[in-house]
């Protein structure tokens, strides 16, 4: 599996999740607000974004729109950082192109920092769901 992680963050949670996933998957990571890789090098794309006011962040939204055809040819997994995981289904419905919703091997709530806080510990992180994403990618490559 040649994987890459792409993320968009404002308060750092999606970056921390991306770093954890990059360690677990031994792969590079890119902040979509700064840089994007040539996707041709990769067969697996993990895309993650923070969520505010029910919206995913603009760099992630724009990337999905502009690279949808390419993303649909890859194995994809999506993670979302938000403080209200119970609202994730509506966020996905509103923000993720339907074909990508269908083709992604998993879409997880990775946990999020409570609004306007910066907890020193990562106890906001949903490690169980992160592990589920890693497993789903492994299972899909079998
Ligand atoms: C103004 C504001 C609005 C937010 N709206 C939502 C929301 O609609 N849904 C949600 O799950 N979390 C919401 N949150 C919590 C953030 O998603 C959470 O802080 C997460 O860590 C954001 O990801 P990031 O740290 O990568 O930017 C909101 C936070 C702020 C400050």
Which residues does a 6 A CB cutoff place in the pocket of ligand 1? 9-14, 50-54, 81-84, 87, 112-113, 115-116
Q: How far is the CA of 52 from the centre of ligand 1 (A)?
A: 4
- Give the fold, CATH level 3, of 3-141: Rossmann fold (3.40.50)
Instruction: State pLDDT tens for residues 120-135.
Output: 898 999 999 999 999 9
Q: How large a percentage of the chain has pLDDT more than 90?
A: 92
Picking from 77, 75, 82, the residue whose alpha carbon sits closest to that of residue 9 is: 82
Q: Which residue has the higher pLDDT, 122 or 39?
A: 39
Q: Whose CA is nearest to atom 22 of ligand 1?
A: 50
Q: Whose CA is nearest to atom 3 of ligand 1?
A: 52
Residue 37 makes CB contacts below 8 A (sequence gap 6+) with: 4, 6, 28, 30
């Amino acid at each position: 599996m040649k994987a890459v992680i792409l993320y968009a963050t404002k308060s750092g949670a999606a970056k921390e999740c991306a770093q954890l996933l990059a360690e677990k998957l031994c792969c590079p990571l890119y902040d979509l607000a700064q840089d994007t890789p040539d996707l041709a090098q990769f067969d697996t794309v993990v895309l993650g974004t923070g969520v505010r006011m029910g919206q995913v962040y603009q760099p992630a939204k724009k990337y999905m729109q502009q690279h949808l055809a390419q993303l649909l040819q890859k194995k994809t997994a999506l993670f979302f950082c938000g403080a209200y995981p119970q609202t994730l289904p509506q966020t996905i419905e509103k923000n993720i192109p339907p074909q990508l919703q269908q083709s992604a091997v998993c879409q997880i709530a990775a946990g999020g920092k409570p609004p306007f806080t910066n907890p020193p510990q990562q106890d906001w992180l949903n490690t169980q769901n992160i592990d589920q994403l890693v497993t789903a990618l492994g299972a899909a490559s079998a």
